[in-house]
Chains A and B, each alone.
Chain A
Amino acid sequence: MSTMAVPDIAVAPVRKGFWTRSRKVGLTLLGLGLLAAVLFGALATEQEARFTLSDDAAGAALEINGTIGAILFGIIAIAAGAALLAGVPKRWFLPVLAVGLVGFVLSFLCWQVSAAPAGQNFMPLVNIIRGTFILALPLIFGALAGVLCERSGVVNVAIEGQLLMGAFSGALFGSISGSVWVGLLAAALGGAFISLLLAVFAIRYLVDQVVIGIVLNLLAVGVTGFLYERLMQTDAEKYNSAPRFSNWEIPLLRDIPVLGPALFRGNIFLYVGLLLVLVIHIGLFRTRWGLRTRSVGEHPIAADTLGVKVLRVRYRNVLLAGVVAGIGGASYTLALYSFTKNMIGGKGFIALAALIFGRWNPTGALLAALFFGFADQLATYLGAISSSIPSQFLAMLPYLATILAVAGLVGRVRAPAADGKPYIKG
């Protein structure tokens, strides 16, 4: 072929649309920046806005005059928006967007912190970071469960149910046995139980995967809610007082400034979650298991012709996903709270959003989960400093962020090609 004289064909001149996605996002960012510089700048006070590097007002802090800060960071957002509007190379899109959004958020914080009642003009960064990670924790586990499932071609809408069942069985069996380890095992099995139902109905009986996922969520809410009222509420001492994992500080890492006290002085589930992100990422892209998983999710017939057992891979991955989500559920009941009815409260669906936002990639899912976690934490923080913004609006923040993120910012994402398509041999 290479020796052939293929005549060069001149490309016809075509008017390319000016309003590319990058430009639209740039324009939005520019508007946000203007809003920040003008409105936030006007509302901010001359008070110093302090971002302390500790859990409270004490200690070293980054300080900036509220008005100046709000205007300055607003201008950064404007600049980023303008850069996108002017057109930047494709690989610069995400970094520039990130800078712009961070500028907008900081401008907002300068206003809020400086306008807070006297004595509360500070934001404890350690506290905020810890809160972000803790609130993101169920999202991380949930999104990883999604990655495991969907990379092999089974849509996992049942994350919510898997988390809830994990939380419930962790609490129940942890309480009965008095052992955190029994609780953890039970939580993993609880999540896996919902997964097993998902796998059997989706893979064996070819039920629509989204429908069965939603049904399983309802089932989990119903079953745990029923048992909670009939069992746990009658004798909370016996059935809903699970032991908690004790804090475990990681040597060396605990001494890192800011991050050490925020992340490495306590919650075991956080370590497990971060480690799982790493393990699943490496597993997916560097091992035989990962190659086969991805091939089954992308082109199951091709995998079958090479002797990969498509259905077996799918069963295994769906069950693994249940185990991971079950442990995620236990991160509530074996570390933080007692079980309450419907305690996951929609986090499973935000985990699904994080999965898509993170483009079916474990690391991406982690970043997305942290983004949502931060929005959540911010709402809590603003409530605490009696912000002038109505609390209902603040409670809306994480969901608003989810919609914006999933609808516009990530652009068109590409799911595994065979995601949600049952494989029928022959």
Chain B
Amino acid sequence: MEPGEIHALLGENGAGKSTLMNVLYGLYQPDEGEILVDGKPLKLKGPSDAIGAGIGMVHQHFMLVPVFTVAENIMLGAEQVKGGIAGFLDRRRARREVTEVSERYNLQVDPDAVIEDLPVGIQQRVEIVKALTRDVDLLILDEPTAVLTPQETEELLTVMRSLKAAGKSIVFITHKLGEVKAIADRITVIRRGKTVGTASPEASRDELAALMVGRNVRLTVDKSPATPGEPVLEVAGLVVDDDRQIRAVDGMDLTVRAGEVLGVAGVQGNGQTELIEAIMGLRPVLAGTVSLIGDRIDGWTTKKVLRAGVGYVPEDRSVDGLVKEFSVAENLVLDIYDRPPFGAGLALKPDAIATSAKERIEQFDVRTSSADAPVGTLSGGNQQKVIVARELSRPLKLLIAAQPTRGVDVGSIEFIHSQIIHERDVGTAVMVVSSELDEVIGLADRIAVMYRGRIIGIVGPDTPREEIGLLMAGISPDAAHERSTDAAPADGAATDGSPASDAGSANEDEA
């Protein structure tokens, strides 16, 4: 690293980017090898050593205490105190410090705001201010754009440029090629824990993508044009609250037809999760209706919804999709264990379960040592294939897939995508919800963009990414059209990820 340099660390999910940086920040201890700062080896026993050495880090999952104010979060660990041993907090001084730093780098934050009330973009700003008040020279940004709208991303890139101008070095960890090309001075590509190459920002997207995944990836999903039939899922005026009793889905209308893939795009936290849970009967519907081929299914139990022919790939497989301690075979019959041939009366039929498991492991290419291995021992991609195998083994009318390829390796992504398209082609209505725009664009026949609990626009898959990006930020179609015509040349580079990043970009969860 050079002073005043922005160094991008590029790699697929699970390539070891975050782990490397956590070692640099003293959170993990290296098994071997050493870290050099100004030519001297550095031993980091903990984060305080790293901070002392001038290293600051903005984590992928923000390290902010939600119930504390901005000032409290920033002073934590480096409190200014008065009153000797009693150690009373000097809040006035802390507040002044926050104001000073935020003015110097043009990062406006209100020191007295409580973190949980702030939008994600501002929380990230608080994280950066927190690092800057600790006088760091090297700032590590771990996947900073994963949770941001394209416009917030653009603002972040501006902030990074001004930090660079102030002589700070920045390590920028990401898997999004567009951002890297827009801002990095130097690029290091990591794969499976090893540096596989360095590149300059002038390198082409294809070159970078090939370095990242180690082979040429299929950039698009092969599919024939859709032949939409009758409406299968109809949602009208749906209202749902989230866990904190805050309105998440706010009067939403949506139709999915047989034989089409409806993609739902949107920045995370705009009601996608709650929408799906409401359809599946996992969350109370406060108003409006959900119908499956004419039958009202709101108010049904989840079991009844599943039995009615709805397949469900939940967004977090480790929480909702699988029982990790159960075997692959058991997980494959979680939905129909009580029906023939797998169960009769009170008893399970282990032979039938084993036979069917064997067939499906083969059919869906699940790589496992045996059908009796606990599913938690499988890789992410194979775990996801188990879920897909289970859900697609029933005759379906509707398939709902949430983040179907999050944290999944490239090979499995291709397989899962082809299975989804196959399901569409046999006439099932498919709804794919993903925070990865590339995935939505690749799979969908129509794209519905969610913003603050509503569908703000429905567009075709050939719509320019900038326009979808603006929709994701809440700019309605007319306004979006005006903006995109006059602003496109200026910020096109940053918001425009390449189709290639589809391959490696499916996931943000590696910590």
Contacts and interface: CB of A to CB of B under 8 A. Distances in A.
On whether the two chains bind one another, the answer is yes
Interface of A: 1, 4-7, 9, 11-12, 14-15, 286-289, 291-292, 294-295, 298-299, 301-308, 417, 425-426
B150 to A, nearest CB: 12
A11 B247 contact: yes
A133 B216 CA distance: 77
A305 B59 contact: yes
Contact of A286 (B57, B89, B121): B89
B454 A9 contact: yes
A16 to B, nearest CB: 9
Contact of A307 (B51, B88, B251, B474): B51
Interface stretch (B65-73, B189-197, B226-234, B306-314): B65-73
Contact of B77 (A5, A15, A307): A307
Nearest to A6: B474
B68 A298 contact: yes
Interface size class of B (residues with CB under 8 A): 35 or more
B88 A305 contact: no
A15 B239 CA distance: 10
A417 B152 CA distance: 29
Interface in B451-468: 452, 454
12 contacts: A286-B89, A287-B81, A287-B88, A288-B87, A291-B75, A291-B89, A298-B68, A299-B66, A304-B47, A305-B25, A306-B47, A306-B77
A149 B437 CA distance: 45
Given A292-B76, A305-B27, A12 B287 contact: yes
Interface of B: 25, 27-28, 46-48, 51, 57, 59, 62-68, 72-73, 75-79, 81, 86-89, 121, 130, 151-152, 155, 237, 239, 247, 250-251, 286-287, 452, 454, 473-476, 479
Contacts, number: 105
Contacts of A4: 151, 473-475
Nearest to B119: A1
A12 B63 contact: no
A412 to B, nearest CB: 10
Contacts of A286: 88-89
A426 B28 contact: yes
A172 B376 CA distance: 54
Contacts of A291: 72, 75-76, 79, 89
B415 to A, nearest CB: 33
Contact of A302 (B48, B64, B121): B64
Given A301-B63, A305-B27, A6 B48 contact: no
Contacts of B78: 306-307
B475 to A, nearest CB: 7
A291 B474 CA distance: 37
Contacts of A298: 65-68
A287 B57 CA distance: 26
A361 to B, nearest CB: 13
Contacts of A5: 475, 479
A425 B22 CA distance: 12
A301 B22 CA distance: 12
A4 B47 CA distance: 38
A12 B237 contact: yes
Contacts of B475: 4-7
B248 to A, nearest CB: 12
B25 to A, nearest CB: 7
Q: What 9 pairs across the A-B complex have the smallest Cβ distances?
A: A12-B251, A307-B48, A306-B77, A302-B63, A288-B87, A288-B79, A299-B65, A305-B63, A6-B474
Contacts of A1: 121, 151-152, 155
B71 to A, nearest CB: 10
A14 B239 CA distance: 8
Given A12-B287, A305-B57, A306-B47, A299 B64 contact: yes
Contacts of A304: 27, 46-47
B151 to A, nearest CB: 7
Contacts of A425: 27
B343 to A, nearest CB: 33
A14 B287 contact: yes
Nearest to A16: B286
Contacts of A426: 27-28
